[in-house]
Chains A and B, each alone.
Chain A
């Protein structure tokens, strides 16, 4: 590889939470050189989770979700409304869709995910919720009495169902799963979640997929794989996501599932080399977490962009400082605790660890009662790797500690 131009900026591609945290961390770690953040959305970084919950239920505005801007970020350059289209790791250049080619001294990959769409013709009334603009467009159609079909029953689909119901909509969930949130929570909890969602008036059609979305100018009905037809005004597709890796085509990075990184969040090539001047943060990063094992995984939990962004910023700042601290910073332990929460009606879920590592036989109630409040443990080979609270919070803390310490 040729040498990077030391006068060029650190370029962070992706202007959401992960990119923001990486930039803040570079500054806090003592890097004083130029930083440029390139982002496809026109909005400055904002907090996504309220877009399916509190904010969607009231007024959807950038102000309501924007992250505060810190003083040390004053001289960071924001290049918004611009999409990265190609990168040359050898020439240290980035190409964007405005036709420009820019040099970088180091690169941070923070382009995250985009919502997957169902493969049907575009028609008014079809929605996804990933961005602020998505939420604004959906909010306008969630009027009292609107018939809403939510496709997919992950956390996002169930949260959107709850919010739409609160806004007075008739809500039907259509899902190929046997139960809502089956994959992340397991059978035991998912069955209880079905009961609660159904009690709140959400209809759930499980074990089916969407065969067609019908309508002339706008959505009129949704046809299911079993032949049933549901009348609908709004279809919300919450059927997973794609990693935004297209711009990395032609590089030798390992992009088999997101972008492979080592525990220092350095990008790793297909031949196993970690690059000191290319980093990966957020949802798109597939990295090993020694809290569990040495398997590299992508983790789509809210805390991960912050934890990986801080880690990448600190390691990169040490690399750029070239003051002999790099090896020590890389060797510092990095084992972020995955955590998530989900609010659906009065149901408050909160979890720590990796619940998805576990099979259904290894899930058991630790405290309380599933039909009321409970703490549920997720075990792998006898070791606690995850804990879920249903309406319980402080009670989870000893289990969280146990997970962090190796689950013994």
Chain B
């Protein structure tokens, strides 16, 4: 299992992560980020890609 943390003080809700890991990240109707804090190991590449594309570098994988 991968554990994900998003610093919601940093997050500006750009939603770039949504394209990389749609199972874990989405923008809600108010344009705010919602995320699922756990992902199966099979999602690691996608989660790491989401970490990379965050303009605010607000996402991290808790090892």
Contact = CB atoms under 8 A, between A and B. Distances in A.
B29 A394 contact: yes
Nearest to A50: B56
Interface string A245-262: 000000000000000000
Given A47-B57, A392-B31, A394-B27, A350 B52 contact: no
A49 B55 contact: yes
Nearest to A400: B19
Nearest to A339: B16
A278 to B, nearest CB: 24
Contacts, number: 39
Interface string B17-55: 011000000011101000000000000000000011101
Contact of B12 (A65, A67, A343): A343
Query: Looking at chain B, what size class is its interface with the partner chain?
Result: 10 to 19
A280 to B, nearest CB: 19
B55 A68 contact: no
A350 B57 contact: no
Contacts of A205: none
A348 B15 CA distance: 13
A345 interface: no
A393 B52 contact: no
A393 B57 contact: no
Nearest to A343: B12
A326 interface: no
B52 A21 contact: yes
A163 to B, nearest CB: 15
A177 interface: no
Contact of A394 (B15, B16, B52, B55): B15
A393 B55 contact: no
Contact of A393 (B19, B31, B51, B63): B31
Contact of B14 (A54, A68, A337, A350): A350
Contacts of A71: 63
Contacts of A54: 56
A306 B19 CA distance: 15
A303 interface: yes
B53 A303 contact: yes
Contacts of A337: 19
A341 B18 CA distance: 16
Interface in A45-104: 47, 49-50, 54, 65, 67-68, 71
A190 B8 CA distance: 31
A334 interface: no
A302 B56 CA distance: 11
Contacts of A393: 13-15, 27, 31
A341 B57 contact: no
A341 B31 contact: no
Which of B15, B18, B57: most chain A CB closer than 10 A?
B57
Contacts of B60: 68
B31 A394 contact: yes
Contacts of B56: 50, 54
A166 to B, nearest CB: 16
Nearest to A21: B52
Contacts of B52: 21, 306
A393 B63 CA distance: 31
Given A350-B14, A394-B15, A302 B31 contact: no
Given A341-B14, A393-B31, 17 more contacts: A49-B55, A50-B56, A54-B56, A65-B57, A67-B57, A71-B63, A303-B16, A306-B53, A339-B16, A341-B55, A348-B12, A393-B14, A393-B15, A394-B28, A394-B29, A394-B31, A397-B18
